[in-house]
Chains A and B, each alone.
Chain A
Amino acid sequence: MFKGFVKNLVILSVIIFIAGCSMLPKKDPDVIITTEPMLTKPQEGEIDKITTADSINLDFVDDEGLTLGNNIIYFDYDKYSVDKKEDKLIIKKYSSYMKKYRNSTVRIEGHADERGSRAYNLALGEKRAENIKEILLINGVSKDSIEVVSYGEENPATEGANEDAHSLNRRVEIVFSNSGK
């Protein structure tokens, strides 16, 4: 059963020109400054023309009563290992489902809390997601049906600068991009 299906299309294109873009000093023997590379014709890129990936939250699927339930796995600070039994169970359920519905594909989305550097947090989110992928592969899920992406600290589950918020933001979400049914 699909719970949600979201599709966003944002098309907004703005082209601007900057006043004074031709105001660069020319080289002249009397001028002691040098014409260094600088912004001669700044321009604004297009805001976007990309359709976001289909995002399908699948809570409950199987006609025979196979329940997927929770699709979020939480992590300790700066950690990416999956140690808890209940988390391994979540991944196992997804493995069983994906082996049953061979056309199903998932997007494993890794996240980090806001602390520390953004690039490191992007890597941390990816490592968390890669570890979930690894367990799915070990359980026999096809490599081609798994996509991994990290958002780092940018898409927190909840706002807040305390440990309660941080612990909810250090997570991986398993999202079906195709239920395979």
Chain B
Amino acid sequence: MKKIILLLIVQLFITSKSYSELTIKIDRAEIGALPIMVHINQDSKNYPAKEFKDIIENDLYGSGYFNVLDSLKVKNTIKNKSTQYALWNLAGANYFLKADIYSNAGKDFIKFELHNVIKKNITISYKINLNEKSNIRKISHTISNVIFEDITGIKGIFDTKIAYISTEKLENRKIYKLHVADIDGFNSVAIYKSSKQLMSPTWSPKNDKIAYVSFENNRPQIFIQTLSTGERIKLLDGNKSSSAPAWSPNEKFMAYTSSVNGNLEIFIYNFSKKSISRFTNSIGIDTEAEWGPKSKKIYFTSDRSGRPHIYSKPVRRGNAKRLTFDGSYNADANVSSDGKFLSIVHNGGNGHKIAIYSLDDKYLKVISKGRLDEAPSFAPNNKMVLFASKKLHKGILVATSNDGRIRKEIELVGEDVREPIWSH
């Protein structure tokens, strides 16, 4: 395993105080990584090729699937194709991403093509118009997505985001921050800050809003914040406590937890009708609702059997069915986008760890090593799981691939981080 520490200093704010420094430590297996080279010619002075190259190389390396070789060690301008492929092959590359940044009729473009060095052919070729509003990071991540998907057949997730909560301890108080950041650690922005507890962030299906729990009224209540405008609304009228928000994938409903007659039950809020229906009815605790991908089923944590376990129940009609039986504690289910797996917090007698539960095979596999791991969420391509862990008593985020090929530790300098959730 090779370890690399990238210090990503993100200073996005004009004001000097509110910036975030995220460090990402990548621990990955080298065996089986595909050797690739990235070379970008720059004929237009307006856009720096190095920026595109650095971002794409960082994406590919950080995926765990690629070994990025130095393209400057080989001549890349040979016109004879078979000679060029022979040179790339000799340098050890299986794939070669060749891009040109150029101007034409007053417009700037980046054109890129992916060469399969072994098969000696171009597998994909695209061009992207660049203008003063072009976001170089986003375009680079898109190029990474396209070539990643072409080579591996797996959906690229380089342009996805995470939301998470951080806490900063000051002399006599604590500041809670809700952050949104790019998955590579850049653009980390605290979209809401409070001296009262913030928890349970969750993305809207379109990734344009985040629902979360805030204690600003001295009790847990659900708020929805629109990212583009910063507008915040409280989900429910009144002073009652509510927690664990979960958006239905069709965006019509929000499931949440609230107490009734001394028990914690799950309710469903209908956005268009502004109505509430009760979803669970049992003595004890029902919480942590998670919708199935078709909005027809809800997974949730219940202690109705005496210990916390994962259950599922159809939204319309039907009984709750217990899914987990292994261990003494299974909670906080997050469903994969294909609906086949749950990532959960599991205690099999050796601390609280992250496990993946196969809904088809009813098989549970532990994928983390900590004793206080929690808050798992799948990457949009289901190949990785993001969760919160502790390192020397400090809260960190960990992203690990299901096959153990790659593990990333994400830390925020000077602050505890927790409750990460991957965007859709």
| A contacts, CB < 8 Å to B | 10, 12, 14, 16-20, 22-26, 28, 30-33, 36-48, 50, 52-53, 78, 114-120, 122-124, 126-127, 130-131, 133-134, 148-152, 154, 161
Q: How many residues of B contact A (CB 8 A)?
A: 80
> Pick the contact of B196 from A24, A48, A123, A127 — CB < 8 Å?
A48
- Within 8 Å CB of A130, what residues of B? 259, 262-264
- Within 8 Å CB of B375, what residues of A? 117-118
4 cross-chain pairs, A with B, having the tightest CB-CB distances, nearest first? A37-B208, A30-B129, A43-B230, A117-B332
Confirm or deny: B228 has a beta carbon within 8 angstroms of a beta carbon on chain A. Answer: yes
CB pair B13 A19 closer than 8 Å: yes
Besides A25-B134, A39-B161, A122-B244, 6 other A-B contacts (C-beta < 8 A): A31-B129, A36-B159, A37-B207, A43-B191, A118-B199, A123-B243
CB pair A152 B14 closer than 8 Å: no
- Within 8 Å CB of A118, what residues of B? 199-200, 374-375, 418-419
Confirm or deny: B206 has a beta carbon within 8 angstroms of a beta carbon on chain A. Answer: yes
A37 to B199, CA, bound (A): 23
> Pick the contact of A24 from B13, B135, B193 — CB < 8 Å?
B135
- Within 8 Å CB of B17, what residues of A? 14
> Pick the contact of B329 from A32, A37, A78, A127 — CB < 8 Å?
A78
Give 5 CB contacts A-B under 8 Å.
A25-B134, A26-B133, A120-B308, A133-B262, A148-B241
CB pair A120 B229 closer than 8 Å: no
> Pick the contact of B199 from A40, A48, A78, A122 — CB < 8 Å?
A122
CB pair B228 A16 closer than 8 Å: no
Known: A24-B135, A25-B134, A120-B331. A33 touches B393 (CB 8 A): no
B window 189-234: CB within 8 A of A: 189-197, 199-200, 206-208, 213, 215-220, 225, 227-230, 232
Least CB distance, B287 to chain A, in whole angstroms = 4
Confirm or deny: B284 has a beta carbon within 8 angstroms of a beta carbon on chain A. Answer: yes
- Within 8 Å CB of B139, what residues of A? 25, 33
In the complex, the chain B residue whose C-beta lies closest to that of A152 is B199
- Within 8 Å CB of A30, what residues of B? 109, 127-129
- Within 8 Å CB of A16, what residues of B? 13-15, 18
A161 to B347, CA, bound (A): 16
